Amino acid sequence: MSKVTVVGAGNVGATVANVLAHRDIVKEIVLLDIQGNMAKGKALDTWQQAPIDYYSTYLRGTDNYAETAGSDIVVITAGVPRKPGMSRDDLISTNAKIVNSVTRSILEHSKAPIIIVVSNPLDVMTYAAFKTAGLPATKVFGMAGILDTARYRAFWPRPCRFLQRIFRLYSWVVTATPWCHCPGILPLRGFLS
Ligand SMILES: NC(=O)c1ccc[n+]([C@@H]2O[C@H](COP(=O)([O-])OP(=O)(O)OC[C@H]3O[C@@H](n4cnc5c(N)ncnc54)[C@H](O)[C@@H]3O)[C@@H](O)[C@H]2O)c1
């Protein structure tokens, strides 16, 4: 893998870029945001951790889609997060406009990247990106399952944490079943803590 673009340099996007850089599995990460200077600053911060944490991933921040050219993977985190009292569905119209415009801009510079959508409401935004991109379904994904899995496993009582290794496959399977990415993702919570 040579180039990954992360669109949206907010809480999620900057974290994605930072974690991915530390894995040292891609040559270059472009962090793009309408707030270009913030994207530049966050990309620089992560790049400058490299000599301490021993990775060779190069990062740069921008607000210019030309710099995303030739991306193999694009992660879309751009959008508005929920405010207290809002459901994910309250974000539909605002974030759909953002996700559609981001998808169009990305495809002007990268031919057929894999697109991973994170912006909420996740299922709707993933479908919006899929329809706008016109790419095969195998190229457009929504990211939520790993979050649901992590939350599910975090609620296991501490003394049982060692069992997580044994039941890792089980918890993956359970949270990968088609429940909604919503408060109902923790159906067994009452039994676990
Ligand atoms: N799928 C999941 O599991 C999951 C988990 C957490 C958050 N989310 C969603 O991810 C999204 C981002 O959350 P966050 O906490 O990082 O929000 P945030 O506000 O910290 O960051 C969003 C960033 O998007 C940028 N942005 C807005 N419009 C843009 C555009 N047109 N082009 C480029 N950048 C643009 C903003 O400037 C901001 O920096 C939200 O929709 C949130 O609900 C999804």
Q: Which domain holds residue 172?
A: 146-191
Shared domain check, 121 and 134:
yes
Domain count, the chain: 2
Phi, psi (rounded to 5 degrees) for 108: -70, -20
Whether residue 122 has its Cβ less than 6 Å from ligand 1: yes
User: What pTM, to 2 d.p., does this model score?
Assistant: 0.87
Residue nearest to atom 5 of ligand 1 (CA): 118
- Per-residue pLDDT, 165: 63
Shared domain check, 88 and 20:
yes
Shared domain check, 153 and 70:
no
Query: 80: CA distance to ligand 1 center in Å?
Result: 5
pLDDT digits (tens, 9 = 90+) for 139-148: 999 998 788 7
Which atom of ligand 1 is closest in space to residue 101's alpha carbon? 31
Shared domain check, 80 and 35:
yes
Q: What separation in angstroms does the CA of 192 have from each of 2, 81, 170, 182?
A: 42, 29, 15, 18
pLDDT digits (tens, 9 = 90+) for 31-86: 999 999 999 999 999 999 999 999 999 999 999 999 999 999 999 999 988 889 88
CATH number at residue 26: 3.40.50.720
Q: Which class for 59: exposed (0-12), middle (13-18), buried (19 or more C-beta within 10 A)? A: buried
Shared domain check, 76 and 164:
no
Examine the fold and report which residue of 142, 165, 182 is the final residue of a domain before the chain moves on.
Answer: 142
Q: Which two tokens stand for residue 103?
A: 């998808």
Examine the fold and report which residue of 142, 162, 183 is the final residue of a domain before the chain moves on.
Answer: 142
Shared domain check, 153 and 116:
no
Shared domain check, 151 and 56:
no
Rounded-to-integer distance, Cα 53 and Cα 42, Å: 16
Residue nearest to atom 42 of ligand 1 (CA): 81
Whether residue 185 has its Cβ less than 6 Å from ligand 1: no
Q: Which of 172, 7, 193 is nearest to 99 (CA)?
A: 7
Query: 51: CA distance to ligand 1 center in Å?
Result: 29
Shared domain check, 133 and 155:
no
Shared domain check, 154 and 137:
no
